[in-house]
Chain A
Amino acid sequence: MLSVLGQVSGGPAVAHGKLLFRPIGPELILVGVALAVMLLDAGYPERHHATLALLSLAGLAAAAAYSLSLWSWTGPTTVLGGMVAADRFTVFFRLVILGVAALAVLLSYQYLERADEVRGEYYPLLLFATAGMTLITAAADLIVVFLALEVLSLSLYLLTGFSFRRLASAEASMKYFLLGAFSSAFFLYGIALAYGATGTTNLAGIAHGLTGQVGPLSLALAASGLLAVGFGFKVAAVPFHMWAPDAYQGAPTCVTAFMSAGTKVAAFAAFLRVFDVAFSPLIWDWKPFVWILAALTMVVGSVLAIAQSDVKRMLAYSSVAHAGFILVGVTAASHAGIQAAMFYLAVYPAMILGAFGVVMVVSGRGERGLTLSSYAGLARRSPLVAAVLALLLLSLAGIPPTAGFIAKVAVFTAAIQSGHWPLALVGVLASVVAAFFYLRVIVLMYMQEPVIAGGQREAETGFDAEPGAVGSLGFVAIAVPALLTLIFGVFPGILFGVLKSASIIRF
């Protein structure tokens, strides 16, 4: 992106010669496969669940392979009339998101089979949401940011309400929808003001316009504020987090796993790009706002998580708190800060996806066993699942041998380097508070007897100690993230090596 700063948009796409579609190849593949899955389901209405899931997986794999080939892209940094960026930043986030989606497909297959809710619309929606997420990481124009955001949000509203026989699912869908649409309006207002201030919606063009002080600055300030509110909603930062616990709790758990990981990555990728590219000239103006957002998010998320008795809700608040930690990296706004935030965004999805995956496995059919007490004595009933969950929770808490620890250290170090040590201090304190509720679950799993009384018999939780109950696919989907957190925890250098070139958006 750095090199495009001078090149302001507006020119017709076609005037530049032939259209370069390669950089959006992954999205084209995803959308194509989504349509194929839809048609397959329509053409062969008898249940082909495995085929649909396999086709979706193949599509995701193809998109990932294609993204990987873009790593060595040497063409222009923005294509299609300055709408889409083709940099390694995008490739990196695409791969993360595609990985998330692939694991989500595995979880979904098992969930839908178990809940008997197999319907052809599921996988296309998942793929469309994935396409929206990957597209937003590549967006180099606010118009694409907005449209991609809508594609992913609309798909997720629908997926949230997919479990049509559970009331909570429909309700979560409605709340998520109303607040999501509300936040989109703010986001849009921000875009309009940014356009008014600079005369363009192109990110590089906005940065250019703001550096030259051409436009009225107060409009740009209002714009950055409104955009921050919009992004704050999408990443569930604190004053704007109200939807997250409800949506996460009510949604089918496989969808919760997908959106808690995917949306956050996608929204933060756009957040980084918009604020660290477009609004970089106003960095000293938006920084205090994001600073406060980060501090509030970390503290409130961690504290509220303690009070939860429902596991999905607890993890939802935990994911709110993690948005705060990532915001610390955004606030640092240095190269190290971006790198740290990206590291966080690479390992956080693994942790939260794996954790929700375990929740899905344990909760059983119909999502009954969601209270904390369902986890009592889990280690005795299913040692392997308990071990995986323990590892993931340790990582979420940020305990040393795991990737979560490295990620937290990275963002806090970046914050301190940028002179935000109070923010790092708040972060450390919030981590300590947060460690409490993660450890509480681990203690429950390992040190308590299974609860039998109060209608909470094992049979009713749907999880019956048999290894087969987990399902091999489900187990893969929770074991892979756990393994990743361990690998990146012990060898963080692998990821940081990749990030060295992937984190260049501006500097």
Chain B
Amino acid sequence: MIFAEWKPLDELIEKLKPYKKVLLVGCATCVAECAAGGEKEVETLAPLLRMALKKQGREIEILTATLEKQCEWEFVEALAEKVAAVEAVMSIACGIGVQALAERFDPKPVYPGVNTSALTIREEAGLWSARCAACGDCVLG
């Protein structure tokens, strides 16, 4: 499973500062499993970012959406209307999802909200261990 973690909140806040209306997009597949980018995380991160920016005197509207898979064009297409209504997009899917949104909705700015770090196996609740580097030269077994 692709594993990711939120980028530091300060970094996300800084990225959104220039905008008044953005779309925060999650993915209900791998990054939902590791509690970084699913619907719950989207609905957690959106109020946090609004609160942080309001405290700094900045009003921002953050729309939210969670796609079943951000790495499939058919699912990505469903965002077209929402993306057209915002100035920028922040994706908390893995790098594949971020790149899919950036390519489909070019030239709209698309920012990654998580750091995708490994291909993992879940050892127990809340603990994942990296088992593959996707290096393209497999010697495992």
Do these two chains interact? no
Residues of B within 8 A of A (CB): none
